[in-house]
């Protein structure tokens, strides 16, 4: 049974059982605890927590998931994956254990002729939470399972939560017995390779805190209702129903391995080390394409770093298979073709996906070249010092600076006849992780932090947003929060968070800054400085009580700062126009990757795998955008379904979560996007848009900054004054300024080059005098002095080499020092005759470097270093002289 058929049957089974089909959420949701969606229940979490009323009593979905905790294990086993699909059915206070068990049993063991999977009931085992007698009784009654095929397990195995504060509960897992050839008897508690878990039924009833009930810690509370959350592993069911040994041999994964076989000329199954590499390529190619499809681009932090690591592991694995040409684009094509029946957006968005992977591969191949040089230098130094092990800090530098995975360093070191100090490497990695974890904890906002807002939501309901049409409105205070706690009143001077039943204030989101303004009640005023939505459905106004005492249940007048709102709205509309212009000229690969809409200015980030945007394109986009302004196009917005929005071609922002109903904003026929922000009514209200700059902010991501309206006019007026002043200074017309200024700059550069030559000649002219002044130290000609005045650190190498050349065939050592402020630079050079006597430049440095508070190193003929004690130069010379005598 093909994988797409497995997903179709799952969905049809539960739709027929009264469940609403819900599309997979993006892998990137606004959850402070998650890099990627890692379970089917994530998009339903607000319903489980009671933050938002569920729009349906029961639902089903096929959720794309990414789990990154075991990246290093992928390929080494056939059980670890980063990307997978989780089929689930969910009940929000509707049915509970009995319904979940009945639905699952009927699908798993139902005949294939009637839409089931047709698993043999006699080969099904289940596990339950250690004291869940109710689940045991239900399995015996509904499925007729004998007691010996129902096993009790502790919290580590049969209590489920997300690993972070949030919903959880005891669970019951369904296993399939693959047969005695796969392991020993005794059920899942004895062997989880033979008895393969395919489905987990979670009886969602608890809310966990920082400490998990999996480890015996009590939940911090109960969920508002008893719910069902299940997760069936599509890939696992696929390899059982397709009669293969693991997920890498199923119909959606094996084609990637086949393409890797074509590239490498090697065969999967012939060699264990090669098989690991084939599996890494297959798994990471799927994950990479799906992550990019949801809007992530490679970077050095967060999700972008995970993506970069996945893509680079593919390239590295291909190289270890003997493939040195670019491969990521081809692997992405295979993933697209395999996954498109379930995710058609991979086809429509493939131009962007392909551009991202190709740009990252090109960058990494250049990195490999640079890193390989560093590696070769480290290997040479290790061998020269008589060592057989590459230092852990060198391996860490290769990983941290050049993106070398440790196993690539291990492989390359082995080929060079060395081992690697893995313990030292892992210690440095652990220190880095600890720093990152501490920083993340410092910035984390968990579910526990939102409890006060949920309490307001539970008692008063959500906040009605009026800001699309009203900038002032009457409202009622339904909640006050001070220092994280609900209060009945807040006096003058208090920093307070105010929740209203209805508000014209826009909460920050979608790149648009929050409104500011005032909330005025009977005898009190709150200056609103920020507006946020900490939980879905609630709008929180943050500010200061400037007069009187704000009280819960008071009637108020909420007033938005209209000037600021208008300026922000102009910027937001301008961002839509710039986005449309970039896509028109650069193609669909120029997808929005972030934005900031502030009063009078905007920042627009977009993917541009091709590198810098040509100036001509920026000029054309600016002209087109201002033409739309001149035409004074109508700005329209309306609400429709997601399906209808897609048919209309409305652009959606990757990573944004959209509901069943979406809001479309159109600016004439030029721009059409899904957007919840505020906008002008006609494009002419923007006045003017001026693009200021375009620059890189990361691999494959560019940023355009622009001014809007009066700010753009002021900028151009300032530029006009500046140009007029320059024209007066150069006695030239404005259009002649580039040529005039270019000429002056070139003349200055020529003068600098001539001065540099004169200075260099003067420096080298002192070489003869220095060589003539060499002293004899036990048959070695030694020149050890502070360099002449005017010789800086950059000149020392050239001067030392010249002096060494003038010593001729004699054994000679040249050591020159240069002081600059509180720093010392030094260079040591040795003649061939000196090296024959065992005098290596790099080995002489430790004899004198401590005197100047420094260190250094290099090759036998030339070495260099630095220090922090210029006053120690005479002592350093004496120490070197003593070392030669010794």
CB-based contact 142:95 (threshold 8 Å): no
In this prediction the pTM is 0.65
Long-range CB contacts (within 8 A, 24+) of 270-273: 273/320
Annotated ligand binding at 65? The verdict is: no
DSSP class of 634: B
In whole angstroms, give the CA distance from residue 336 to residue 23. Answer: 19
Quick one: pLDDT at residue 794?
65
Quick one: pLDDT at residue 507?
95
SS3 of residue 200 by DSSP: strand
Positive or negative CA dihedral for 342, 346, 348, 349? positive
In whole angstroms, give the CA distance from residue 718 to residue 690. Answer: 13
Annotated ligand binding at 572? The verdict is: yes
In whole angstroms, give the CA distance from residue 886 to residue 882. Answer: 6
Quick one: pLDDT at residue 647?
80
CB-based contact 828:846 (threshold 8 Å): no
Residue whose tokens read 């050592």: 813
Annotated ligand binding at 679? The verdict is: yes
Series of mean pLDDT values for 10-residue runs along the chain (886 residues): 96 96 88 81 85 89 89 78 93 95 97 96 96 95 95 92 83 96 94 93 90 87 89 94 92 95 94 92 95 86 86 90 92 96 90 88 80 84 88 85 73 84 88 67 46 81 92 95 91 94 94 95 95 89 95 95 96 95 87 88 85 90 95 94 79 57 91 93 95 84 92 91 89 87 90 78 76 91 83 77 90 92 90 92 92 90 91 93 87
Quick one: pLDDT at residue 444?
39
Quick one: pLDDT at residue 641?
84
Quick one: pLDDT at residue 764?
67
Quick one: pLDDT at residue 445?
39
CA dihedral 732, 735, 738, 739 (to 10 degrees): -70
Q: What is the per-residue DSSP string for 290-308?
A: HHHHTT----SSHHHHHHH
Kind plus residue range of the DSSP H or E element containing 798: helix 793-806
In whole angstroms, give the CA distance from residue 634 to residue 767. Answer: 77
Annotated ligand binding at 443? The verdict is: no
In whole angstroms, give the CA distance from residue 39 to residue 41. Answer: 5
């Amino acid at each position: 049974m093909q994988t797409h058929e497995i997903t179709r049957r799952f969905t049809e089974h539960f739709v027929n059982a009264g469940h609403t089909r819900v599309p997979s959420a993006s892998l990137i949701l606004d959850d402070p605890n998650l890099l990627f969606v890692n379970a089917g229940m994530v998009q339903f979490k607000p319903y489980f927590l009671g933050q938002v009323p569920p729009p349906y009593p029961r639902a089903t979905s096929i959720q794309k998931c990414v789990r990154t905790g075991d990246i290093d294990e992928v390929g080494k086993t056939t059980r670890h994956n980063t990307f997978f699909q989780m089929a689930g059915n969910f009940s929000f206070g509707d049915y509970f254990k009995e319904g979940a068990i009945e639905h699952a049993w009927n699908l798993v063991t139902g005949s294939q002729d009637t839409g089931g999977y047709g698993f043999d009931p006699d080969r099904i085992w289940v596990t339950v939470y250690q004291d869940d007698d109710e689940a045991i009784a239900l399995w015996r009654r509904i499925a007729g399972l004998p007691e010996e095929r129902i096993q009790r397990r502790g919290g580590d195995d049969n209590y489920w939560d997300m690993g972070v504060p949030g919903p959880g509960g005891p669970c019951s897992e369904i296993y399939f017995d693959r047969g005695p050839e796969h392991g020993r008897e005794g059920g899942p508690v004895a062997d989880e390779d033979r008895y393969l878990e395919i489905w987990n039924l979670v009886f969602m009833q608890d809310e966990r805190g920082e400490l998990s009930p999996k480890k015996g810690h009590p939940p911090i509370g109960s969920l508002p209702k008893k719910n069902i959350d299940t997760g069936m592993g599509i890939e696992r069911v696929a390899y059982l129903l397709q009669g293969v040994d693991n997920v890498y041999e199923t119909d959606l994964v094996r084609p990637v391995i086949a393409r890797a076989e074509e590239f490498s000329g090697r065969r999967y199954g012939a060699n264990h080390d090669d098989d690991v590499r084939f599996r890494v390529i297959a798994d990471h190619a799927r994950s990479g394409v799906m992550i990019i499809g949801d809007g992530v681009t490679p970077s050095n932090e967060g999700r972008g770093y995970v993506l970069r690591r996945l893509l680079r592991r593919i390239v590295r694995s291909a190289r270890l298979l003997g493939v040195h040409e670019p491969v990521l684009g081809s692997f992405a094509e295979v993933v697209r073709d395999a996954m498109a029946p379930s995710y058609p957006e991979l086809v429509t968005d493939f131009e962007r996906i392909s551009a991202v992977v190709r740009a990252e591969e090109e960058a990494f191949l250049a990195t490999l070249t640079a890193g390989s040089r560093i590696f070769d230098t480290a290997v040479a130094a290790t061998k020269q010092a008589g060592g057989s092990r590459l230092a852990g800090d060198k391996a860490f530098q290769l990983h941290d600076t050049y993106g070398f995975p440790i196993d690539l360093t291990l492989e390359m070191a082995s080929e060079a006849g060395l081992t690697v100090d893995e313990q030292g490497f892992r210690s440095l990695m652990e220190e880095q992780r600890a720093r990152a974890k501490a920083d993340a904890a410092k910035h984390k906002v968990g579910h526990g932090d939102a409890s006060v807002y949920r309490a307001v939501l539970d008692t008063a309901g959500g906040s009605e947003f009026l800001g699309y049409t009203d900038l002032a409105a009457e409202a009622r205070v339904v909640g006050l929060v001070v220092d994280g706690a609900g209060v009945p009143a807040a006096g003058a001077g208090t920093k307070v968070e105010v929740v209203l039943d209805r508000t014209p204030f826009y909460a920050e989101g979608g790149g648009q800054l929050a409104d500011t303004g005032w909330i005025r009640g009977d005898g009190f005023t709150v200056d609103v400085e920020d507006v946020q939505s900490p939980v879905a459905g609630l709008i929180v106004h943050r500010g200061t009580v400037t007069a009187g005492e704000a009280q819960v249940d008071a009637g108020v007048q909420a007033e938005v700062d209209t000037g600021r709102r208008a300026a922000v709205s102009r910027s937001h509309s301008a961002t839509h126009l710039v986005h449309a212009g970039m896509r028109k000229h650069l193609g669909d690969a120029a997808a929005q990757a972030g934005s900031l809409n502030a009063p009078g200015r905007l920042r627009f980030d977009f993917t541009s795998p091709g590198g810098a945007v040509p100036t001509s394109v920026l000029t054309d986009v600016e002209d087109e955008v201002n033409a739309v302004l001149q035409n004074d196009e109508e700005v329209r917005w309306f609400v429709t379904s997601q399906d209808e929005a897609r048919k209309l071609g409305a652009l959606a922002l990757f990573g944004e979560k959209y509901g069943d109903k979406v809001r479309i904003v159109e600016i004439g026929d030029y721009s059409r996007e899904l957007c919840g922000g505020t906008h002008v009514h006609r494009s002419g209200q923007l006045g003017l848009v001026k693009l200021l700059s375009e620059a890189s902010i990361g691999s494959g991501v560019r940023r355009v900054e622009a001014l809007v309206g009066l700010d753009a006019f002021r900028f151009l007026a300032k530029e006009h004054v500046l140009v007029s002043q320059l024209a007066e200074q150069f006695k030239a017309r404005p259009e002649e300024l580039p040529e005039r200024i270019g000429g002056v700059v070139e003349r200055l550069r020529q003068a600098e080059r001539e001065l540099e030559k004169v200075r260099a000649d003067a420096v080298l002219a002192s070489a003869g005098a220095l060589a003539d002044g060499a002293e004899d130290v036990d048959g070695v000609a030694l020149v050890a002095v502070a360099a002449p005045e005017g010789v800086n650190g950059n000149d020392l190498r050239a001067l030392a080499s010249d002096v060494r050349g003038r010593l001729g065939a004699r054994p000679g050592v040249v050591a020159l020092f240069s002081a600059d402020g509180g720093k010392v630079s030094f260079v040591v050079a040795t003649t061939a005759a000196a090296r024959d006597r065992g005098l290596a430049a790099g080995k002489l440095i430790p004899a004198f470097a401590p005197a100047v508070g420094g260190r250094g190193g290099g090759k036998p003929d030339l070495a260099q270093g630095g220090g922090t004690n210029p006053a120690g130069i005479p002592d350093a010379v004496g120490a070197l002289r003593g070392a030669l005598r010794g």
